Structure 1
Amino acid sequence: MGKAISEKFMKDLQEGGRLHELTERVQRDDTLMLALRDHYINIYYRGGSILHLEDKNGGYVGTFDTNYAQGKPVKLPPNVVQEPKDCSAWVAALPELKEIMNSHFARKHKSEREFQQLVAWENNRSAISNETEYFITDIEFADPDQGAKLDMVGLKWLSKNKKDETRCTPVLVEMKYGIGAYDGTAGIAKHIADLEKILADPIKRESLNRTIEQQFEQLLQLGLVRFNKHVKYDRAIVSGRPEVVFLLANNNPRSTKLLNILDEVKEPADFDLRFFNASFAGYGMHNACMLDLTKFKELLRQLAKVSPPAHFAGADA
């Protein structure tokens, strides 16, 4: 998981390939997202996998998680995808599979995953994606070799550097929906500690950079990233100090829970810790919207109307 797909897989997804109809469907359907996973791809809908397509025995095997159907029978196309007509059958089944997932999500909300996909769409494919400075190459990223399990990975490419594709830096995004997600075994402090272990290792860091590069280039070739390339564009090169962004959706500004958690967090040594402060409303990500730990805590204090600790007050006096 968490790697680019093979050249053969890419050719089958591109024009003339047996899976091209699926790529076309994702290109014209903003509710779908294609994620590249080494020997398979996932097509996401509302943050859930609507189609898992695995490279196997010279062809492909398509599966749908029937748990979404809550025990009701589901009529699915044949699993084996060898010819374009087999791919067409899965494309034709997508509307019905969407309805099954809609019914499931009405009972079991997965807001965080839905918002992950929305963030990826706004920065990669929406009408404003050419203006943003971040691209998302994968969601629900997992790589056991790197010990990584991340909500989103991608690259940061400042507008002033858009004519130089060697100026891209790696970005890891953790999304938390509501204040109940801030603490515990999957909370903010735990994520920061886990990422310090991963990003302190130069081999793991370099491997992650190469994965992001490859995924970005393949998504670009498939028409699933939208930005104005300069005439001499070759390929994006990802390097430099990583940035870890916490995207906190629907925080309660009257609560001090987040501030109390962050008061115990130290600045990490091996990456830049940032908190996304949206540009008015929406999830288009810009460097100017990223606050460091100190500035973000200042903002939280203002929102919650909490006085700074005594050592802060003394420093300001």
Structure 2
Amino acid sequence: MAKMISESFVYDLKEGCLCKILKYVKADSTLQFEIRKNYINIYYRGGSLIKIKEISENLYNAYFDKNYITSNDSEGVIIQCIEDIDSIEKTRKLIEFIPKIKQQMDFWMKLKKPDGGEREYKHIVAKENNSVNVGKYSDYFICDIEYTGHLNKEENYKFDMIGVKWPANSKSRENNDNLSLCIIGMKHNEYEDFNITNYSSKIYEFITCEEKLNRLKKEIKEIYNIKSQLGLIYPYNNVNIDFGSNIEILFIFANQNPKHSKLNKDIENFRKTTVYKNLSNIADIKLAKGSFMGYGLYDENLTKI
């Protein structure tokens, strides 16, 4: 299987021509770093701030999503593509654009998603559980957000988050293999358009396909290794992980009224379905409870459905 990003790309992020952008992301708590196929995405408030793609060895193009541009003032518009980044000096120029791009995205968010939008909160979950302060004690790490692909010939899938369960107790942290793959579904505030049974049915179809499941595990192991090398995920230095056979399905219903009649009824009905019966035979299905008003994921605050 082809690598997510090349070794030279990783080197340039660590200590080559892109090292300043990595340092900037680490210093800015509003930004989230994700690894995609042959490129990286830096997110702000759930939206793509900058995409950096490897054109050839040690040469990169950076892209900004022009759909976020709301200004008619051409002087206020960031150019769509910054080409031929091959030095720290050019990376510094790219970094100079970031405050302006963030401002444009803020304007867009205010017009289109005044509540921030669900994707923003997915990135908060990832940022909190992967950060040095929380990550030391969290039992879960978020490796990818909005993992997508083909479920079958007629349908695609999109999983909100893919994580790794690595319990925080000292004995478990000594063991970096036999970890649990975690597929996470999240709904923030608005619940009505979410169907837990349908979502779980897609998960079941996915994880019972050995080819798809093995590919996901390989990709997540590689992403975890790269992020650990870059100091973005525990233990914040180079580590290789491996998975055991256990899989967890975790649902996060954030900022929901605990007396939400439809949510509670849907969970109750879900327990009675064939989908639940089949899925629970091969995976642990859990609900996340609040971590003293934060988004840290701790095993003792999860309940089985």
Shorter-chain TM-score tier: 0.7 to 0.9
Deviations 1:213-262 (A, max 9, x none): 11111101001114488xxx852212322111111111122321012222
Q: Does 1:29 align with 2:34?
A: no
Tell me the equivalent position of 1:67.
67
Gaps of 5+ in 1: 294-317
Tell me the equivalent position of 1:168.
179
The 1-side partners of 2:91 and 2:244 are apart by 37
**1:61–1:80 CA contact under 8 A, matched in 2:** yes
The 2-side partners of 1:182 and 1:275 are apart by 18
The 2-side partners of 1:277 and 1:225 are apart by 23
Distance 1:79 1:88, change over 3 A: same
**1:3–1:36 CA contact under 8 A, matched in 2:** no
Q: Does 1:222 align with 2:230?
A: yes
Q: Percent identity at matched positions?
A: 28
Structure 2 residue matching 1:259: 3-state secondary structure: helix
Q: Deviation of residue 168 (structure 1)? A: 1.3
AA matched with 2:6: S
Q: Does 1:248 align with 2:253?
A: yes
Tell me the equivalent position of 1:85.
89
Tell me the equivalent position of 1:189.
197
The 2-side partners of 1:263 and 1:103 are apart by 41
Structure 2 residue matching 1:239: 3-state secondary structure: strand
Q: Deviation of residue 139 (structure 1)? A: 1.1
Deviations 1:269-301 (A, max 9, x none): 3322111112221011011111111xxxxxxxx
The 2-side partners of 1:220 and 1:181 are apart by 37
Structure 2 residue matching 1:240: 3-state secondary structure: strand
Q: Deviation of residue 26 (structure 1)? A: 0.9
The 2-side partners of 1:78 and 1:178 are apart by 37
AA matched with 1:171: C
Deviations 1:7-66 (A, max 9, x none): 121111111x11111111111111111100121110001111100111224422211111
Distance 1:126 1:101, change over 3 A: farther
**2:151–2:202 CA contact under 8 A, matched in 1:** no
**1:39–1:55 CA contact under 8 A, matched in 2:** yes
The 1-side partners of 2:223 and 2:216 are apart by 11
**TM-score, normalised relative to structure 2:** 0.86
AA matched with 2:226: Q
Structure 2 residue matching 1:164: 3-state secondary structure: coil
Q: Deviation of residue 197 (structure 1)? A: 0.3
Distance 1:223 1:145, change over 3 A: farther
Tell me the equivalent position of 2:168.
159
Structure 1 residue matching 2:245: 3-state secondary structure: coil
- Output the aligned Cα RMSD: 2.2
Match of 2:269 among 264, 273, 287: 264
Tell me the equivalent position of 2:292.
280
The 1-side partners of 2:36 and 2:239 are apart by 23
Distance 1:179 1:96, change over 3 A: closer
Structure 2 residue matching 1:236: 3-state secondary structure: coil
The 2-side partners of 1:142 and 1:5 are apart by 17
Match of 1:149 among 155, 158, 161: 158
Structure 2 residue matching 1:241: 3-state secondary structure: strand
Distance 1:27 1:271, change over 3 A: same
**1:68–1:104 CA contact under 8 A, matched in 2:** yes
Match of 1:105 among 95, 109, 112: 109
Match of 1:130 among 128, 131, 136: 136
**2:228–2:235 CA contact under 8 A, matched in 1:** no
